[in-house]
Amino acid sequence: MLDFKNFNLNSNILNAIKKQGYKKPTPIQAQSVPPLLKGNDLLGIAQTGTGKTAAFALPVLHHLMEERDAAGPRVDRSQGRPIRALVLTPTRELATQVHVSFKAYSRCTKLRSTVIYGGVSQNPQVKFLRSGTDIVIATPGRLLDLMNQGHVRLQDLSWLVLDEADQMLDMGFIHDLKKIVSQAPED
């Protein structure tokens, strides 16, 4: 039986999984986590409720922890805390859910995450961004607004997740997505 321990995840992340009460990886996690830990790109398809969020969140958090430990070349701490992972979602409800999951899985680490979506005042979001965050979970429209105002810079991004990409395309986010991706490092 495959166990989370087989993934060789960062021990702080493994502790959080234990605290969540997860006993073993779901099929989408068993298939996605190993290639993502190797740094590969991945296109995953699974029904809702099958553990999709952890399938991408755990490897992303692991890499951010490893980069932090190794003080990776891209991470210049004198510039504050750059955004290193971005998760885009079609709706604010999904963004909020994904944020809750990231907070749970990173509870034993010092990584910071924030959620950004439209339809509410941008001021608290800008304030949080100024204080520094490793991970941003966002809907495309508000993120682009904040990028255009200079509140979000993506030049240090290492990880990009398009959650429910099919729905984002159905909702007409393709132009926003292209603009956002064009501001991220090519690799």
Residue 122 as a binder of ligand AMP (CB under 6 A): the answer is no
Shortest distance in whole angstroms from residue 85 CB to ligand AMP: 16
Q: How many helices (H) and strands (E) does the chain have?
A: 8, 4
DSSP, collapsed to helix, strand or coil, labels residue 28 as: helix
Residue 90 as a binder of ligand AMP (CB under 6 A): the answer is no
Please give the backbone phi and psi of residue 135, each rounded to the nearest 5 degrees, phi first.
-130, 135
Shortest distance in whole angstroms from residue 20 CB to ligand AMP: 6
Q: How far apart are CA 156 and CA 134, in angstroms?
A: 10
DSSP, collapsed to helix, strand or coil, labels residue 17 as: helix
Selected from 51, 72, 118, 141, the binder of ligand AMP by CB under 6 A is: 51
Residue 49 as a binder of ligand AMP (CB under 6 A): the answer is yes
Shortest distance in whole angstroms from residue 129 CB to ligand AMP: 25
DSSP, collapsed to helix, strand or coil, labels residue 169 as: helix
Q: Which is nearer to ligand AMP, 29 or 32 (CB)?
A: 29
Q: How far apart are CA 104 and CA 81, in angstroms?
A: 20
Shortest distance in whole angstroms from residue 75 CB to ligand AMP: 28
Selected from 9, 13, 33, 54, the binder of ligand AMP by CB under 6 A is: 54
**From 51-59, 63-71, 139-147, 150-158, span contacting ligand AMP (CB under 6 A):** 51-59
Residues comprising the chain, all counted: 187
Residue 44 as a binder of ligand AMP (CB under 6 A): the answer is no
- What does the block give as tokens for 17? 């999984």
Q: Which of 130, 180, 139 is nearest to 157 (CA)?
A: 180
The footprint of ligand AMP (CB under 6 A) covers 22, 25-26, 29, 48-54
